[in-house]
Chains A and B, each alone.
Chain A
Amino acid sequence: MVKIKIQLICAFLTSFFMFFYAGSSKWSFASYGYDSLIADMTSEVYYTLDTSLTDKESFIEDFEAYHDDTRARIVYILEDLAEIIRHYADSENGMIESSERLVEELNTFYSGVDEIIAEFPRKEEVLSILEPVVTHYLNYVKSQFPQIEPPSPQGNPLDNIIKFYNETQARNPFELGPFFMLEPLLNMLREKTYYERSEEITHEGYLSKRIIFREEKTIENGELIMHRIIREDDIVHDYSKPEEFSFLHSLPAKLREGGGDERVALLMEELINLANYYLLANVEENGLYIPDDVQLNVPEGYTPDIFVGNFIGILLSFYPA
């Protein structure tokens, strides 16, 4: 592999840049974000050039195959997400000023997503994956960290979220950065598990369901006493319970056993790997409590960067070119 960073300077293009790099042999979306240094002037594209692409024709063919409309539209969704993050990071006091503003931002995002994915054959999956993450992220930022500096606008949104949560963690192991952030997504995947294993839940019913999370916390004398995530339908998941924690880790296997979608199982594994990575990295420093029956295994050499590449790669596999 030959890594190449190509910087495109386009004064008439607003501030976005994209990173792409090749996985084992093909182009794949890796990360995405804004560059504050040269914002509003620059688009960046990062590639890893597959060494099998030795001539101009194969390069162009591969490039065009990647940049087909369907996949590009997923990038657009992430751009909208990044736009929200950038907007929030650019505001005068570094935060979204009011709940009205937050609602406005989210509505804009959702309407944009609805519009963009209208042509997707499986648009519900994009929505259901992105929506709870974004909702939860912004709600959490708004409610919990009014005085903390926002994440750097550089890097891709997912990285920003991970960094932000990593930096602002964690009075409770289950509030720990990415694991906490990923709860809604894991919940969604669990919902998906039930959906795929139960005929009682209709396809339409699942698709039309908008998953909204509310969090409740009780803090006394600076200590977190209670913390739970409550879903719109009042199903409570209390991740301070070992059985819930263990259940999350068992989801990929359960999904496979139930004949579920392998790609969803892979997504789960990536999320769990990432959560474990941070849990293990912080277990001593923060005195985390890990239930005895939970094994925190992380593949050798695993890093958040690997997570981002794998996660987006799997996400894209839902939308074959």
Chain B
Amino acid sequence: MERLKKEFPQVMILDPTEDFVDAELKTPGKIFSDGLHLLADGNRLMANKIAGELIKNKLIN
């Protein structure tokens, strides 16, 4: 992750791993359809994660 941030400074880097794992533990089977692809709850989680980053960068309110 640090290497990526350094090599691609223009890239906004998010790490949703912890959020996904936490959510999967709380609500098993609600985040991924197959361990890889996100279900609706997973999408919402990711959307919120991205939105938080966009707000932090003042791209949205």
Q: Which residues of A contact B (CB under 8 A)?
A: 2, 4-14, 16, 38, 42, 45, 49, 53-56, 59-60, 63-64, 67-69, 72, 76
Residues of B with C-beta under 8 A to A59 = 47, 50-51, 54, 60
Q: Is the CB of B59 within 8 A of A12?
A: no
Q: Is the CB of A64 within 8 A of B16?
A: no
Residue of B nearest to A6 (CB): B12
Residues of A with C-beta under 8 A to B12 = 4-7
Residues of B with C-beta under 8 A to A13 = 36
Q: Is the CB of B55 within 8 A of A9?
A: no
| A2-B59, A7-B12, A49-B59 known, 16 other contacts, Cβ within 8 Å | A5-B10, A5-B11, A6-B13, A7-B11, A7-B13, A8-B15, A9-B14, A12-B20, A49-B60, A53-B60, A56-B61, A59-B60, A60-B51, A64-B47, A67-B43, A72-B38
Within 8 A of A (CB), among B19-61: 20-21, 36-40, 43-44, 46-48, 50-51, 53-55, 59-61
Q: Is the CB of B59 within 8 A of A6?
A: no
Residues of B with C-beta under 8 A to A55 = 60-61
Q: Is the CB of A60 within 8 A of B13?
A: no
User: A155–B37 Cα gap in the complex (Å)?
Assistant: 20
Q: Is the CB of B40 within 8 A of A9?
A: no
Among A14, A38, A42, A60: residue with most chain B CB under 10 A? A60
Q: Which residues of B contact A (CB under 8 A)?
A: 1, 4, 8, 10-17, 20-21, 36-40, 43-44, 46-48, 50-51, 53-55, 59-61
Give the shortest distance, in Å, between A111 (CB) and chain B (any CB).
Answer: 15
Residues of A with C-beta under 8 A to B1 = 9
Residues of B with C-beta under 8 A to A4 = 12, 54, 59
Q: Is the CB of A63 within 8 A of B50?
A: yes
User: A5–B43 Cα gap in the complex (Å)?
Assistant: 17
Q: Is the CB of B43 within 8 A of A7?
A: no
Among B12, B37, B44, B53: residue with most chain A CB under 10 A? B37
Q: Is the CB of A64 within 8 A of B44?
A: yes
Q: Is the CB of B8 within 8 A of A9?
A: no
User: A49–B54 Cα gap in the complex (Å)?
Assistant: 10
Give the shortest distance, in Å, between A223 (CB) and chain B (any CB).
Answer: 47
Residues of A with C-beta under 8 A to B4 = 7, 9, 38, 42
Q: Is the CB of A64 within 8 A of B43?
A: yes
Among B13, B20, B39: residue with most chain A CB under 10 A? B13
Residues of B with C-beta under 8 A to A6 = 11-14, 50, 53
**Pairs A–B under 8 Å by Cβ, sample size 7:** A5-B12, A6-B12, A9-B4, A56-B55, A63-B50, A64-B47, A67-B43
Residues of A with C-beta under 8 A to B36 = 13-14, 16
User: A69–B53 Cα gap in the complex (Å)?
Assistant: 25
Residue of A nearest to B38 (CB): A67
